[in-house]
């Protein structure tokens, strides 16, 4: 029997994982990628001896990566190694309070009690609820195609129904957190998790309160070699599976025959396949590859997720008070989100995230130096003046860091680069530079994301951060599993 052929459009983490899964199923797989490198947002660059992960920096649930090696009969540790961070994140407040979010839930609750005066039991109870919500409700959404969830047998959904509190749907995450804790700093720390899918905690449903389970109960991980080793190890695995990669090849059309996806056009050639999977942003897939204006417009009916401004700074000194992941909170979180999601602007007192992989591995920066990935949440692109906004943001970030860290950070920046919503769009074709496709600001958002299989076109599937179940590495990897399970 002839081997069936699958084409994957885009070599982001979800495209790579889908290619590996389909190859393990016996398909001959070809991946077309417009860039010259694999990984999409999960890419990397080196500048003057400093290693920079260009996009994602927070890694949870490594089992979704290692599972792919097992699936192909390989030992994951031969390709990919990682370690758990002792401190999931370090939080800095303008008041001078510093909180270490230890990866161990009990130590974290003790820290919240001693630094903030928060009731330790409230923190532990919150994390227990987050865990059961994740296992009883979250996993249903993350592991199944959206259309199958409503058809699941009662035995599978009964726990979800029992665990669903009305407040999860009808309260915002912030309102829910205010009802759970006594200290505003605790509320702010737990509100932050809405940004994990580019959402606004003052609008997004309290269902997102399950997200801290991943970081505070399960932990955050550091892949040795930096985040890029996730891409590199999966790319090596894919090559070993004889998957064919065609780089520098922009796909310009998905062609149909009798309502079936039958071929793609790339480099003016038509290449046929039995199955086509698009890992491209879903808006661009409909608009440019399928020429379907109506479906493209439908995608935009959902609010876009936030974007970001990132400064990559080579720092020629070290800051012992910083960890792998650090957050410097705004003093007015509510107005910061209002600026981002309603005024489509940056806030003058931004919350700043700093990731420093040289804290985990010295070779990520020259001796005595640190590689800083400095990120501020930003609105998606609606043609704001990004050059001006970025300059203003840089000044605000430096002033805030100088004030909290009691330093003059500019003196230590020896090399620099940046990313903003327009370059996120141009480098990874993410419409308007949104990091996660659509936001989860509405309670129906999880149901309204694009499903993984086309309803009107046979043999066509969608995978990655802009479709079900959502953005972020673990969800993209789950999306690849859902797609592969849908393909018989």
Ligand X SMILES: Cc1cc2nc3c(=O)[nH]c(=O)nc-3n(C[C@H](O)[C@H](O)[C@H](O)COP(=O)(O)OP(=O)(O)OC[C@H]3O[C@@H](n4cnc5c(N)ncnc54)[C@H](O)[C@@H]3O)c2cc1C
Residues at the contact surface with ligand X, assessed by CB under 6 A: 9-15, 32-35, 40-42, 55-58, 250-251, 279-280, 308, 310, 424, 428-430, 435-436, 464-465, 471-473, 476
- Give the shortest CB-394-to-ligand X separation in angstroms: 16
Long-range pairs, 284-288, Cβ under 8 A, ≥24: 284/429, 284/431, 285/9, 285/254, 285/462, 288/252
In the bound state with ligand X, the residue whose beta carbon lies nearer, of 6 and 473, is: 473
Nearest to 52 by CA among 413, 416, 401, 353: 416
Of the two residues 180 and 451, which places its CB atom closer to ligand X in the complex? Answer: 451
Residues paired with residue 264 on neighbouring β-strands, in sequence order: 254, 271
Residue 156 beta carbon to ligand X: minimum distance, rounded to whole angstroms: 27
Of the CA atoms within 13 Å of residue 128, those in its CB half-sphere come to 9
Give least dist CB 190 to ligand X, A.
18
Are 267 and 96 within 8 A, CB to CB? no
β-strand partners of 418: 311
Helix (H, G, I), strand (E, B) or coil at 356: strand
Report, in Å, the least distance between residue 166 CB and ligand X. Answer: 30
Q: Is there a cis peptide before residue 469, judged by omega within 30 degrees of 0?
A: yes
Nearest residue (CB) to ligand X, 251 versus 369 = 251
CB of 226 to ligand X, least distance (A): 12
Instruction: Return the number of the residue (314 or 470) whose C-beta is nearest ligand X.
Output: 470
Minimum Å gap between C-beta 328 and ligand X is 17
Considering only CA atoms, which of 47, 18, 44, 42 is closest in space to residue 31? Answer: 18
Contacts of 390 (CB under 8 A, 6+ apart): 309, 418, 420
Cα separation values, 485 from 21, 143, 467, Å: 9, 10, 16
The CA distance from 453 to 468, in Å, is 10
Nearer to ligand X, 133 or 285 (CB): 285
Nearest distance, CB of residue 280 and ligand X, angstroms: 4
Which residue, chain included where needed, has tokens 């003052």?
Answer: 202
According to DSSP, the β-strands at 269-272 and 352-356 are: unpaired
Pick between residue 74 and residue 281 the one whose CB is nearest to ligand X. 281
Comparison of 71 and 280: residue with beta carbon closer to ligand X: 280
Q: Angle CA(232)–CA(233)–CA(236) in degrees, nearest 5?
A: 85
Closest approach, Cβ 387 to ligand X, in A, equals 18
**What are the structure tokens assigned to 239, written together?**
């090559």
| Residue 248 vs 399, nearer CB to ligand X | 248
Minimum CB separation from ligand X for residue 349, in Å?
Answer: 21
């Amino acid at each position: 029997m002839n081997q069936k052929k699958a084409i994957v459009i885009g070599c982001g983490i979800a495209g790579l994982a889908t290619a590996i899964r389909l190859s393990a199923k016996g398909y001959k797989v070809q991946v077309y990628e417009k860039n010259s490198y694999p990984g999409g947002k999960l890419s990397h660059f080196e500048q003057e001896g400093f290693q920079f992960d260009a996009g994602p920096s927070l890694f949870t649930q490594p089992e979704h990566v290692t599972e792919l090696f097992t699936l192909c009969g390989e030992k994951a540790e031969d390709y990919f190694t990682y370690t758990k961070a002792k401190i999931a994140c370090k939080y800095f407040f303008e008041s001078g309070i510093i909180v270490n979010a230890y990866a161990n839930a009990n130590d974290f609750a003790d820290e919240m009690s001693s630094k903030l005066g928060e009731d330790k039991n409230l923190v532990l109870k919150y994390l227990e609820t987050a865990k059961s919500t994740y296992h009883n409700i979250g996993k249903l959404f993350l592991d199944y195609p959206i259309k199958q969830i409503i058809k699941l047998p009662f035995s599978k959904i009964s726990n979800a129904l029992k665990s669903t509190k009305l407040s999860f749907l009808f309260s915002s995450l912030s309102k829910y957190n205010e009802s759970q804790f006594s200290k505003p700093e605790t509320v702010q720390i737990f509100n932050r998790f809405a940004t994990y899918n580019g959402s606004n905690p003052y609008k997004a449903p309290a269902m997102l309160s399950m997200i801290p389970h991943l970081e505070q109960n399960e932990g955050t991980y550091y892949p040795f070699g930096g985040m890029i080793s996730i891409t590199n190890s999966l790319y090596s695995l894919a090559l070993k599976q004889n998957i064919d990669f065609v780089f520098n090849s922009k796909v310009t059309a998905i062609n149909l025959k009798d309502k079936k996806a039958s071929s793609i056009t790339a480099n003016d050639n038509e290449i046929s396949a039995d199955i086509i999977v698009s890992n491209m942003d879903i808006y661009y897939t409909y608009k440019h590859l399928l020429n379907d204006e109506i479906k493209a417009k439908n995608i935009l009916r959902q609010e876009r997720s936030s974007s970001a401004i990132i400064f990559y700074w080579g720092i020629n000194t070290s800051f012992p008070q910083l960890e792998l992941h650090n957050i410097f909170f705004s003093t007015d979180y509510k107005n910061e989100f209002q600026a981002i999601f309603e005024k489509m602007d940056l806030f003058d007192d931004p919350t700043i995230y700093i990731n420093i992989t040289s804290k985990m591995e010295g070779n990520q920066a020259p001796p005595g130096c640190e590689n800083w990935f400095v990120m501020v949440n930003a609105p998606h692109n609606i043609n704001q003046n990004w050059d001006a906004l970025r300059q203003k943001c840089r000044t605000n970030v430096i002033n805030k860091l100088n004030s909290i860290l009691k330093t003059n950070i500019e003196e230590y920046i020896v090399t620099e680069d940046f990313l903003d919503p327009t370059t996120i769009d141009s480098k990874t074709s993410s419409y308007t530079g949104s990091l996660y496709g659509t936001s989860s600001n509405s309670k129906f958002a999880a149901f309204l994301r694009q499903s993984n299989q086309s309803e009107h076109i046979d043999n066509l599937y969608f995978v990655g951060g802009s479709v079900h179940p959502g953005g972020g590495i673990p969800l993209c990897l789950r999306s690849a599993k859902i797609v592969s399970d849908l393909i018989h």
